[in-house]
Amino acid sequence: MAYTLPTKAWPRLVYDKSVLVAFVMAFHQVEWPGDPAEVTRSGLWRLNVDAQHQHQGYGRFAVFAVCADLRERGERKCFVTYDAGEDGPENFYLKLGFRPTGEFSGHEVVASFDL
């Protein structure tokens, strides 16, 4: 779906010198599942950090780069969804300052970060 919305979603690769370490997909003003059609949100669609490069700050860098981009686009919040649980990214997002909104998108927790 993201590539059918080129003005709404954009992929980015994160390199350390010539080594690809992460992929991030962001979205801007996309209708949120379950919200009325006139309500849109912006945030992180996907974040993947190569297993051998995790816990080195690349994920944090990617998230805050997306946040800076959204702030420049006039957004006040960055949204993300994730699977809760000990094997999921919940603690990562909580440490960065994301807070659950109390909503769910399917089975995933919806969290937001004030820009």
* Residue 105 pLDDT: 87
| CA 57 to chain CA centroid, nearest Å | 15
32 pLDDT higher than 80: no
Residue type, position 39, single letter? V
pLDDT tens digit sequence for 37-96: 567 789 999 999 999 999 999 999 999 999 999 999 899 999 999 998 888 899 999 999
* Residue 31 pLDDT: 73
pLDDT tens digit sequence for 83-97: 988 888 999 999 999
Question: In the chain, which ranges are continuous DSSP H helix?
Answer: 58-72, 90-96
Give the C-alpha separation, 113 to 47, whole Å: 16
Give the C-alpha separation, 98 to 71, whole Å: 15
113 pLDDT higher than 60: yes
The structural architecture, per CATH, of the domain 2-114 is: 3-Layer(aba) Sandwich (3.40)
Bigger pLDDT: 7 vs 72 = 72
Give the C-alpha separation, 4 to 23, whole Å: 18
* Residue 38 pLDDT: 62
pLDDT band at 35 (very low <50, low <70, confident <90, very high): low
